[in-house]
Amino acid sequence: MTKSVESENKIFNWICDCCDLEFQERLGTVLDVFTNNNSNKLNSICPYCNKKIPKPNETLSYVKPYLNNEWVKELNGDIDAFFYNSNTLADWICRKCHRSFKAKISERHENDQCCPYCSFKKTAKGYNDLETTHPWLIKEWSSLNKQEMSSVRANSTYNAWWKCPVCNGEYQQVIKEKFYRENSCPYCRNQKVLKGFNDLATTPNE
């Protein structure tokens, strides 16, 4: 390798004459800009001008500073290396529930619904499960259920079994529909017959 080639392969710091930001590049690449490309500006090879590296005012930490505390540097790398509107799927720690989740950077906004636990899209035992959010229903959760109360949420479509604390009758009802009315028991509302409670033999005068 000649000394000329060796020199051209050396990397130097340059200041872009368009954005005034400093970047590193081979001497040979810079020389090509001024000779072969008939150009006298470095913006054609500047990583900032070519959107390969975010400018300081384009970084995720600058545009969305409220996400700095949710960024998982150990898994994602330096937050300043990412554009605020990048479609990169990143790891986060929710600042509200402190649980980990994945979401695209471009989808993250202040007070967004990206955390699947805070938005009730996933169940987190001890945080958003039905047993935690509605403890007064524990006494109504029937042993006939195949799922634990701590594994479902209040917005679940699971058709659960319930045991009425008034008549002790057991009935099925989708979890999220249970909150539409104060009394959801079909026996107490006389929509169904429960022997020994609202049948004709028990209530002959009604």
Per-residue pLDDT tens, the chain, 206 aa: give them.
454 666 778 999 999 999 999 999 999 888 888 787 666 688 889 999 999 999 999 999 999 999 999 999 999 999 999 999 999 999 999 999 999 999 999 999 999 999 999 999 999 999 999 999 999 999 999 999 999 999 999 999 999 999 999 999 999 999 999 988 777 899 999 999 998 888 888 886 65
User: What does each C-alpha distance from 157 to 44, 143, 160, 192 come to in angstroms?
Assistant: 56, 18, 9, 22
Give me the pLDDT at residue 1, please: 44
The amino acid present at 49, given as its one-letter code, is C
Give me the pLDDT at residue 206, please: 57
Strand partners, 161: 172
Give me the pLDDT at residue 41, please: 82
Give me the pLDDT at residue 6, please: 66
